[in-house]
Amino acid sequence: MASISELLNLKGQVSIVTGGATGIGLQMAKGLAEAGSNIVICSRRLDVCEQAVAEIKQLGVQALAVACDVTKADQIEAMKVAVLREFGRIDVLVNNAGRAWVAPPEDMPLERWQQVFDLNITAPFLCAQILGREFIKQGHGKIINIASVAGLVGRNPQAYNSVAYGASKGALVNFTRDLAVKWAQHNIQVNAICPGFFVTPINEKLYLKNKESIEREIPLKRTGGPDDLKGIVVVLASAASNFMTGAIIPVDGGAIAW
């Protein structure tokens, strides 16, 4: 029987966090590093990845920055090759990269709808497919999809008016469930975290404009903080969750509980 410290220990493992250079992606990458995992940060901008890697290395683990547009299969393949060359293994994939476009449904441009879906659901599929082949070969792996409470319920348009975001995150939720069923035979656990409102550089203006209405909908009366995703991502990346797959976990201050 393993102790809890052994179950949560990620020492020597390798975790890839897409869109991990800023915001909640960086928070989760640091949480995984604090649990001992080596980290790969990827996004389209190498300079911001390198800044994040410099911070993560201060936590005593190895880290690699990779420029990668996760909507492009060839770039994901190249990232996989670079990671295997550097570390020789991949244990965890956190599909965090995402985007939104705010507009009423009747005014949503088709081009923007497609861009949101490309990054929020097609990219996680491509990353899971390409990196999952390695997981199948090695007989284990953890995939953590970062969905949203917007993928579980309809949202108040005064505070959250992005139908493409909610629809794409809803697709990611069911992709998580179905992939979990398909790959259970390979000992690959696939789970999703559904964050509520976390203030990031991308949504800070929206938050400041709608602070009262946003916080009114959260029973804990605050938005997510700088440590609120660390624990759950470590649990899902670790042996502590070996009997969890297909789980959809809100981290939202109780927002969808009422």
The sign one gets for the Cα dihedral 89, 142, 198, 117 is positive
What beta strand segments (E) does the chain contain?
14-18, 38-43, 63-67, 92-95, 141-146, 188-195, 248-251
Residue given tokens 């449904």 in the structure block: 105
Structural tokens at position 235: 């649990």
Tokens 């090695």 map to which residue?
138
- The closest alpha carbon to 71, from 43, 92, 94, belongs to 43
Task: Give the C-alpha separation, 203 to 7, whole Å.
Answer: 35
Per the annotation, the verdict on 160 as an active-site residue is no
Q: Which of 117, 135, 165, 175 is catalytic?
A: 165
Under DSSP, is residue 248 helix (H, G, I), strand (E, B) or coil? strand
Q: From its phi and psi, is residue 235 left (phi > 0), alpha (psi between -120 and 50) or beta?
A: alpha
Q: What is the DSSP letter of 118?
A: I
**Cα→Cα distances 47→41, 67, 68, 154, 164, Å:** 11, 9, 12, 36, 29
Contacts of 185 (CB under 8 A, 6+ apart): none
Residues with catalytic function: 165
